[in-house]
């Protein structure tokens, strides 16, 4: 089972979609709000500028797509 982190901001509709999908699939994940000091520091290490970003194991997915996420998660 790969560890999943969802980097998000409160008012981001795409983040909400990703969060809902993970919850519906029963996939355990850690939510990281990039507006907090700790979250901002962790998010800056990804090299991305916008959310959502999903970290699956040691791989990053910029934006959310069910197909792209499933490929990273299953492989």
User: Angle 53-57-73 (CA atoms, 0-180°, nearest 5)?
Assistant: 80
pLDDT in tens, 53-73: 999 999 999 999 999 999 999
Read off the DSSP letter of residue 51. S
Q: Are the CB atoms for 40 and 8 separated by under 8 Å?
A: no
Third-level CATH fold of 4-74: Glutaredoxin (3.40.30)
Radius of gyration of the chain (CA): 11
pTM higher than 0.85 for the full model? yes
Query: What is the distance between the alpha carbons of residues 6 and 8, in angstroms, rounded to a whole number?
Result: 6
- The token duo for 31 is 């939510």
Confidence of residue 43 (pLDDT cuts 50, 70, 90): very high
């Amino acid at each position: 089972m790969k560890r999943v982190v969802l980097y998000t901001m409160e008012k981001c509709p795409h983040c909400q979609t990703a969060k809902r999908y993970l919850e519906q699939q029963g996939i355990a994940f850690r939510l990281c709000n990039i507006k907090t000091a700790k979250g901002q520091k962790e998010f800056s290490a990804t090299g991305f500028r916008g959310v959502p970003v999903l970290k699956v194991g040691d791989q990053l997915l910029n934006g959310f797509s069910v197909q792209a996420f499933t490929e990273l998660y299953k492989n």
